[in-house]
Structure 1
Amino acid sequence: MFSEKKSGKTISDSSSQQNTIAQGTTITGDIVSDGDFRIEGTVEGNIKTPGKVVIGKTGAVNGTLKSSNADIEGKFSGKIFLSDTLSLRASAHVEGETEVGKLAVEPGATFNATCAMKGALKELNNGQKTGPSSTTKSNA
């Protein structure tokens, strides 16, 4: 995003910067970024980033979230697709559908959603054959 010159070198790294949507701010529409997000306001739309999304206690999102990690303290309604971990804090309120690698829920969190864990299938089938070719019939 921005370049900064230090000692003759140009530094440009938008992925290490955190975008903040402050309390009292409402955004309607889709957000696409390479950096992390902290949301204390309201987002009505979709968020897509390869980084981490934090929805603070005053934050609310209604839409689709696609990222690697998310920490939720506030409210979320919609669909969540994460390649890694979804962490729900005690004050979190989540409704909708989730597809995550890992799920961490603190006591007190509200989680009214369907949940699919992408990494679990590989662990269950580790070294085991599945499907019609692995079943045998016996006519005894």
Structure 2
Amino acid sequence: MFNSNKQEDKKATTQLVTSSNVISKETTIVGNITSQGNIRIEGNFEGRLESKSKIVLGDSARVKGEIFASELEIAGKVDGVVTCYGLLLLQKTAHISGDIITEKLVVESGAHFDGKCQMGTTQKQSAGRVAEKQEKATVA
């Protein structure tokens, strides 16, 4: 009896993590989004965007604010700090104005980037400290 509930909970958690959240074109969201699952943005977003999984910003995406993800693919425009704990892919249509903190970076020919870039295994710790400072500043 109790085992079936545990299995159902595990299945629900797996579905939650593998689910995708989509913000389509012509949609604008202002605020904060935190998700265990994937996020795909084709519209406009302003605020803090965070996923424990993958975030994909399509070529029509316009994001202003902070982005935190395990994996990140950018084809649109970002104005703000980008923190990626795994692979960050800047496609040829990407336009970034702001700093990047990432483990690994792939930049396609044609992508634009204006800011500082920090890379390497120690950047996870650095990214965590940056996030903590930003949260404290927001609370204060």
Normalised to the residue count of structure 2, the TM-score between the two structures is 0.77
2:20 aligned partner:
18
**Two-structure CA RMSD over aligned residues (Å):** 1.5
Tell whether the 8 Å contact from 1:57 to 1:74 is kept in structure 2 after alignment.
Answer: yes
Aligned with residue 74 of structure 2, among 72, 75, 87:
72
2:138 aligned partner:
none
Shift of residue 81 of structure 1? Answer: 1.1
> Where has structure 1 moved over 6 Å in runs of 4 or more?
none
Q: Which amino acid aligns with 2:70?
A: S
Shift of residue 48 of structure 1? Answer: 1.1
Q: Which amino acid aligns with 2:71?
A: N
Tell whether the 8 Å contact from 1:102 to 1:119 is kept in structure 2 after alignment.
Answer: no
Shift of residue 119 of structure 1? Answer: 2.5
1:91 aligned partner:
93
State how far apart, in whole Å, the 1-side matches of 2:120 and 2:50 are. 19
State how far apart, in whole Å, the 2-side matches of 1:120 and 1:33 are. 24
Shift of residue 82 of structure 1? Answer: 1.1
**What secondary structure sits across from 2:114 in the alignment?**
strand
Does 1:62 pair with 2:37? Answer: no
- Largest Rg, 1 or 2: 1
Q: Unaligned stretches of 5+ in structure 2?
A: 1-6, 124-140
Q: Which protein has the bigger helix share?
A: 2
Q: Unaligned stretches of 5+ in structure 1?
A: 1-8, 122-140
Shift of residue 120 of structure 1? Answer: 7.5
Q: Which amino acid aligns with 2:63?
A: V
Q: Which amino acid aligns with 1:102?
A: K
